[in-house]
Amino acid sequence: MAKIKPSKGHPYARIMGVGGYRPTRVVPNEVILEKIDSSDEWIRSRSGIATRHWASPEETVTAMSVEAAGKAVADAGITPEQIGAVIVSTVSHFKQTPAVATEIADKVGAGKPAAFDISAGCAGFGYGLTLAKGMIVEGSAEYVLVIGVERLSDLTDLEDRATAFLFGDGAGAVIVGPSDEPHIGPTVWGSEGDKAETIKQTVPWNEFQVGDVSKLPLNEAGEIKFPAITQEGQAVFRWAVFEMAKVAQQALDAAGISADDLDVFIPHQANMRIIDSMVKTLKLPEHVTVARDIETTGNTSAASIPLAMERLLATGKAKSGDTALIIGFGAGLVFAATVVTLP
């Protein structure tokens, strides 16, 4: 039996650079209130959201990703040609095939890297980061571009009082590269498919295409609604508050550190009350900087963690070399948490 030559990888991986892109249009709660019976005070108290960014027709999933990727490449100090793989996490790219990662890789100038999309909802960035780390350690890529990008305004039902105010658009990207020391901890990830119905698309694309008004949701004018994201708010809130704090603690334990060792906490920006509850449950010390990007960005699903990371670094609230706990959770229900050193 022939022996297969072992892979020549690197002992560890690290995040080398980060970049973000937020659409130019800023949408305050007052715009949302044009379609739903609510108030600015209610939206802020329930979610912590004051404004969000919505993309223009020109700010496509590809265009936003290319902008964020270019910043991450520059921040990492590499050239696009050095990128060996491109991983894009998104649920709002509507073309089934080819993967949008291939188009992004070409526009970034990455040459001929491995390129593929993943669908892991709000945990997508954590999934992509874990895959990138594995590629570098295994030796199949030297540098990996990981992107979380969403145009959730395209999947928002503006007449749904429970979700109309939640979602925003944007792209966040990181470059993951080799390291001689561990700077990305073990990932604690998983799924709870028995809870899949708590966050979902209202109707599948094939049913929407058929257009049977007897089976599809209608708007106030009696027209068929475009598919949108819906959720059982209370069920998701309880799951996130009680179960995700446990996952976050498991990630700390897996990395061999305690809450006292943390400098930064970057949770998925789903809801300010969830963030505050997790901080309390984890008993994070006062010195830990907590990302609360949701106030001005809304829930951008796979993009939320890298966008929050980029803003913390850009504003000086976090610095290069800080130890950060990141955790994403959402539709699936899926989750992923790990400890990283900030670039």
Residues tagged active-site: 122, 268, 299
Could you tell me which of 217, 192, 195, 187 has the C-alpha nearest to residue 204? 217
Quote the CA–CA distance of 231 and 104 in Å, as a whole number: 30
Contact 297, 168 (CB under 8 A): yes
Could you tell me which of 123, 144, 138 has the C-alpha nearest to residue 188? 123
Instruction: State CA 105 to chain mean position distance.
Output: 19
Enumerate the H helices of the chain as residue ranges. Answer: 29-32, 40-47, 61-76, 100-108, 124-138, 205-210, 233-255, 272-282, 294-297, 304-315
Which one-letter amino acid corresponds to residue 3? K
Quote the CA–CA distance of 129 and 260 in Å, as a whole number: 24
Quote the CA–CA distance of 252 and 332 in Å, as a whole number: 23
